[in-house]
Amino acid sequence: MINIRFEAKVHSSFGQKVLLVGNHPQLGDWQPTKGLLLSTFEGLYPIWRSEQEFRIPEGFDLEFKIIVLNSNQQIDHWENLPQNRTYTPSLCKDSVLLRMHESSQWIEEFYDDPVDKIHENSLQNYTRIMAPMKIRSSRILNPLINHQPTQKQEEKQVRKAEENSLNSESITIESNANKGNEKDGETKKINHPLKVTIGDGLNKNEIILNQQKENLQQADNQYEAEQTNTIKYFYKQIASKSESVLVSTHVKTQRLKNELKQLAKSLPIQSSNSIFLVYDEQRLDVMRALIFGSEDTPYAHGAYFFDIFIPDDYPQNPPKVSIVSTKNNSIRFNPNLYADGLVCISLLGTWEGEQSENWDPTNSNIYQILISIQSLIMNEDVYFNEPYYQEWKGSEQGDKCNRAYSNIVKYYNIQHAIGDMIENPPFEFQQVIYTHFLLKRETIKATAQAWIEQAKKGEECLYDELIEDHNQQISSKFSSEKAAYLHSLQEEIERVNKLLDSLDERLVLISS
């Protein structure tokens, strides 16, 4: 049994009550006046909290919504959401706090165990810790709405601006208005970050004040650059022209709801390989998947993002899927994962395979697509994913080419799929990414060291025309000098190890 506490941000009028109503007896079985009552007080409002203990068994598919009642017990309004809130506890901790905002489907989970003890639980508890985060809702089409800094981050932002002013070097300010009282060439010096000559009639204080405002704005921009990674949704233009799932066909809507429930139960969440999914809180047909590379592959431990859009004629036709982990279209991680986002696989209709491999409206689903990408594409046979190149597998030349392509994938996996994601994780997966890398910190370091030792052996690689065409710049670099791959890999691993060691602090920051 899981003990759940609720916390919701709801604005109400005097005398109104806030309740959670849903598909459980303690939530009133959808009877508004019998729901779970939340309470608040002066100093806490508009935050409302549950006082009554709420316990449900693991695996129970909880559905609920926030409702506001007037003092006469009449319904003032239900929160405006396209579908019910859903939450399925699975192998999570004994107690969880769910935080939410009215009319925003995003639900944040907080656990009683201190963040700084997560890494002590070892990989044996990976599934227990990560499973509750496997599928969630967020803002994908309009992500900036959710990117509000916490109070601590705002304070840090202001401190940075103040430090920029206080730590600046002394500069010279010349005032023509005062020049007559000074000797030729003599100037006044004050400590201020602005280098400027003040002309007649200008107010120094105004200029200082304006510069302080500029410093605050620069700090704000720096905060946005460092703390917020908003990957533009690949199909935003198509989604904006498509019908909302609310007015779409009943077949599509019901199919998506069923698939999301199945994904919540079936997505793999193991330390060796895991997949997470976020769907837009306003539209079920807008999704983003996070696939962590499987161990014993060049993609090991790395975070790879795929945007998914469900067309109006679904399930007669397959979803649209694109990889967005390409570092601005500069990296091709696989012959079937193009730098422009194309995912080449029979299920999506982007490659002509056997009839049994193509999309079947009755039996094919989103789960199969995600599993196929993780297991059939992101595997150890990178080079042989190129159509008709499988015949080279096992040959001396084929092994050399596969080793070369794998080196490129390993390098970019360390640099972008791990390092860049720790530095600047997408907002909707921030907690997932930090927790994943924290739990696997020592495993990642061990894998990276093993790749270094393997590179030191100097096994012959062949960067042929295919590899050169897919990743020209890095391929030319690695092929021009035998030790180039080793030195580049060591440099990125040194950076990533420092980032891994910073994860405790990063996770505490987003949890505060």
Structure confidence by residue, pLDDT tens digits, 409-460: 999 999 999 999 999 999 899 989 999 999 999 999 999 999 999 999 999 9
Q: Rounded mean pLDDT of 278-285?
A: 87
Query: CATH top-level class for 236-383?
Result: alpha beta
- Any idea what DSSP says for residue 25? G
CA angle 281, 505, 305 (to 5 degrees): 40
For the residues 177-187, what does the mean pLDDT come to?
41
Q: Using a cut of 0.85, tell me whether the model's pTM lies above it.
A: no
Residue 156 burial by Cβ neighbours in a 10 Å radius (0-12, 13-18, 19+): middle
Task: Assess whether pLDDT exceeds 80 at residue 95.
Answer: no
2-112 against 236-383: fold identical: no
**pLDDT band of 379, cuts 50, 70, 90:** very high
pLDDT, tens digit (0-9, with 9 covering 90-100), for 102-147: 877 777 777 654 444 454 455 777 887 888 788 888 888 876 543 4
Least trusted range by pLDDT, from 150-164, 247-261, 420-434, 465-479: 150-164
Active-site position among 92, 344, 401, 461? 344
> For position 326, what pLDDT does the model report?
96
Which of 480, 485, 477 is CA-nearest to residue 459?
Answer: 485
CATH label, 2-112, candidates 3.30.750.24, 3.40.30.10, 2.60.40.10, 3.90.950.10: 2.60.40.10
What proportion of the chain, given as a percentage, has pLDDT over 90? 53
Domain assignments of the chain as residue spans, ordered by start: 2-112, 151-227, 236-383, 390-511
Q: Tens digit of pLDDT for each residue in 329-369?
A: 999 999 999 999 999 999 999 987 777 789 999 999 999 99
Q: For residue 471, is it left (φ>0), alpha (ψ between -120 and 50) or beta?
A: beta
- 344 is an active site residue: yes
Secondary structure letter of residue 251 according to DSSP: H
Q: Where residue 214 falls among pLDDT bands split at 50, 70, 90?
A: low
Kindly give, in sequence order, each residue whose CB lies less than 8 Å from that of residue 504, ignoring residues fewer than 6 positions away: 115, 116, 119, 438
User: Domain spanning 390-511: which CATH class is it, in words?
Assistant: alpha beta
Q: In what order do the strands lie in the sheet with 197-198?
A: 188-191, 170-175, 197-198
Each residue's pLDDT tens digit, 481-494: 989 999 999 999 99
